[in-house]
A and B are shown apart, each in its own frame.
Chain A
Amino acid sequence: MAAFLVFECCNQFLSCRFSSGSNYAMSNGGGVASSTTHLLDFLEEPIPGVGTYDDFHTIDWVREKCKDRERHRKINSKKKESAWEFTKSLYDAWSGWLVVTLTGLASGALAGLIDIAADWMNDLKEGVCLSAMWFNHEQCCWTSNETTFAERDKCPQWKSWAELILGQAEGPGSYIMNYFMYIYWALSFAFLAVCLVKVFAPYACGSGIPEIKTILSGFIIRGYLGKWTLMIKTITLVLAVASGLSLGKEGPLVHVACCCGNIFSYLFPKYSKNEVLSAASAAGVSVAFGAPIGGVLFSLEEVSYYFPLKTLWRSFFAALVAAFVLRSINPFGNSRLVLFYVEYHTPWYLFELIPFILLGVFGGLWGAFFIRANIAWCRRRKSTRFGKYPVLEVILVAAITAVVAFPNPYTRQNTSELIKELFTDCGPLESSQLCQYRSQMNGSKAFTDNPNRPAGPGVYSAMWQLCLALIFKIIMTIFTFGLKVPSGLFIPSMAIGAIAGRIVGIAVEQLAYYHHDWFLFKEWCEVGADCITPGLYAMVGAAACLGGVTRMTVSLVVIVFELTGGLEYIVPLMAAVMTSKWVGDAFGREGIYEAHIRLNGYPFLDAKEEFTHTTLAREVMRPRRSDPPLAVLTQDDLTVEELQSVINETSYNGFPVIVSKESQRLVGFALRRDITIAIENARRKQEGIMLNSRVYFTQHAPTLPADSPRPLKLRSILDMSPFTVTDHTPMEIVVDIFRKLGLRQCLVTHNGRLLGIITKKDILRHMAQMANQDPESIMFN
């Protein structure tokens, strides 16, 4: 009876791999003597803190999966005991769905808040709405009847700053006053944003996607997905977007959604955090673009490391819930999720594939150039004195952006509005400068609907301004991405691509008009019929540039066609995206996020890259020939003092445990953090542990002379089944094992004797060396 009770309790307190040894002994030997030793084991409580990780360390996935399976087994075995246990097991099964739903709700709500607030603050740089201070320009003039066809934004309730301060709306004095107020507001927003980030949550800066990728692959960054980071990121994102800097809010929205997911997963502490984070990033992209399916594919392709089918369904659910919540908040008053939802169904022609592929080449070239320039600038910021003044840097960049952006109407306006204007095709209902074509007929015949007309002077001046805007945006985005404010990359890249695309589209359109007797145009374009759609070129250009910089493939095409609703344009989009990816890959294999991961030295083992070299395990393992010998622990020879000195003198994360120095046969692996916690715990709880007490990792204490102090048993923290490979194993297989199992370290044996150790950091350094990069840049374990 006592043995049965002890057996049950042992099952509960010892984790799966560690207990296998004791169970075996139990089932085989169960005499009185062994049951008393196991009684002592059961009296030893689990040491608090064992099994957790230090900040900036890698998770050991095998251990985590083991703990998870053990927990499930426990719950399932108790399920049949009582109704309470059954409900607990149901709750455990449903908690996953509850977390994902809550995450979707929170992401949708926060995205709505960010959209409304950012719109309002953006227009605050221009003026205020006197009748209702909380309305932006468009909402202020929503009901007014003074808007005309040509000037759709004029209404008496909206007053620009010049009107309020000087009393007049037109003239050079009011232009200068507007200019000055614009710069003032832009600078104050940027200054507020960087101050809030610096004082409250330094982790809230940047995009967030490289760090989330690394966290999902198993790296701990404490506080990165916490409450303060969430709040500060939301608030400062609005300020950063409103200050007119060349950045977007999609990447930070993914970070915000992942913070929500992380916080909710603490309410259900046993649920797998990885699934929640993958689902949360899908929800983040879904509310940013209004593209739920694109969000799921983005999470699958870019962000997640392990993506089983269960995660796919939950991510889709989270993305749909988030999109639904955003739609019911209805921030833009027209029931669309994103500002630039356009739908047209004009056909495209085969000869247009040539300019589309040219746009793809442009996208790839720009992507490669941007990645190189941005990484070079960020590296300079990291290593020189220039990086010591982040606040000054932000203010300087915001000032330059504001000063150069104000005169050009295309850079003065909100980037999302610019994209929408470029995507929209010119029809009879449009009256912007870009659509001022010359009419062919004079007054008697009505204005025809087709745009195949020569460009008027309005279009030419618009083209000039667009070219200048393109150059400006290309240069400023290099310096803006990576500032110490939340900054995203999607909207600026799409803007650059849309501008380039629209320019190309108008050029092709004018070519088709002036040379309509060329072979190409004669075949497909009829005179007087709608032939070229410049808006489509803008869309293709946007997709090409975004693909060139992030190297996304499927997710990008799905996002863009969910944005526009046009299945007809799949072929041009895919042609452009593939071309831009190939051209970009010719210059460098990494996208912007992988490049930033490498710049920061995160231990991210990319699952997409292939390891093609023929090195063997013994060439990568430590210790090398010139290194000191491997730091090992013997299983029952050490004293507490010796153990502490080993830990204090070295900085390794774990130590293999061997039988004895002569035989060098492997027993197991013990982690540094667990050893230190166990020794501290023993000092407090157990009596008689002194500096010369013996430490043993075996089941039974070694024979000691009679007057020696009480020995310390550390078997419970020993991992009895570490992974080993022989020294002749090819590195291809070793890298595959690390990737697929999520290992952190692996021991190398030769003829059964312990020879060395390979850690994830060694593998990353080796890969960097093989690729002729600097192996010392890998910083973390």
Chain B
Amino acid sequence: WDPGQTVHLLFMYVCVMLHRTHNQMKTYLLQNSEDIRCKCICPPYRDIEGQIYKQNVSLKDCNCLHVVEPMPVDGKDVEAYCLRCECKYEERSSGTIKVTIIMYLSILGLLLLYMVYLTLLEPMLKRRLFGHSQLIQSDDDVGDQQPFANAHNVLSRSHSRPNMLNKVEHAQQRWRRQVQEQRKSVFDRHVVLS
């Protein structure tokens, strides 16, 4: 049994799987053959009005003769008409657009829910659980008035909390305090970012 051979086999397996997923992704993203088009704009000619022609053909067929159908002029004028037309090949990825919009809307929705929870539900829940409002107003001085308390904060940060839940709770409290300080600087005291 040769370990080198196993590595070689593993490597080939990974390559095949990657290739397969890549093909699948490509077919998924480009599943619309409508994602390619050739757009020909033909300006007004004599008494024929301006027109726009679109077809999904590939790059090699993207010219006036293939796309402009039905041709509005007869044989001798076709060349003159086609000279004035401008044909462009365009490609887009509708899969990317779909994924992006869905991702954006879901993040926006989550943030909105969290915002509603923070501003409306949490104070209500806290008030119910703790009876009278025990909402602790944290001391938000920037540290100049109490230099030694600030030093205390800096040093205590290096202690580690053993409990996972405590850690999450602690991090969230710290984040809320930071945001409150930021809000004070920006909105109340107008110190930063007028």
Contact = CB atoms under 8 A, between A and B. Distances in A.
Q: Assign chain A's interface to a size class.
A: 35 or more
Contacts of B42: 149
A211 B191 CA distance: 12
A482 interface: yes
B31 interface: no
B100 A117 contact: yes
B94 interface: yes
B50 interface: yes
A211 B192 contact: yes
A143 interface: yes
Interface in B42-70: 42-47, 49-54, 56
A202 B151 contact: no
Contact of A139 (B46, B94, B183, B191): B94
B186 A429 contact: no
Nearest to B104: A117
A667 to B, nearest CB: 22
A201 interface: yes
Contact of B179 (A56, A113, A200, A596): A200
A228 B180 CA distance: 13
Contact of A196 (B115, B142, B185, B192): B115
A49 B159 CA distance: 13
B90 interface: yes
Contacts of B49: 149
A113 B104 contact: yes
Interface string A309-339: 0000000000000000000011101110000
B147 A211 contact: no
B41 interface: yes
Contacts of B46: 443, 446
B154 A149 contact: no
B179 A235 contact: no
A383 B143 CA distance: 24
A142 interface: yes
A740 interface: no
A202 B56 contact: no
A203 B96 contact: no
Interface string B163-194: 00000000000010011001101110011111
A205 B186 contact: yes
Nearest to B45: A446
9 contacts: A48-B154, A113-B100, A120-B97, A148-B51, A149-B52, A198-B183, A199-B179, A387-B190, A680-B155
Interface of B: 34, 37, 41-47, 49-54, 56, 84, 86, 88, 90-94, 96-98, 100-104, 107-108, 111-112, 115, 118-119, 142-144, 147-148, 150-152, 154-155, 158, 175, 178-179, 182-183, 185-187, 190-194
Interface of A: 48-49, 52, 54-56, 112-113, 116-117, 120, 132, 134-135, 139, 142-145, 147-150, 152, 192, 195-196, 198-203, 205-206, 211, 221-223, 228, 231-232, 235, 238, 329-331, 333-335, 378-379, 381-383, 387, 390, 428-429, 431, 443, 446-447, 482, 484, 596, 599-600, 644, 647-648, 651, 672-673, 676-677, 679-681, 684, 779
3 nearest CB pairs, A to B: A149-B50, A333-B92, A428-B43
Given A49-B155, A55-B143, 17 more contacts: A49-B154, A54-B150, A113-B100, A116-B96, A132-B94, A147-B54, A195-B115, A202-B179, A203-B182, A203-B193, A235-B107, A381-B190, A382-B194, A383-B190, A447-B43, A677-B151, A684-B155
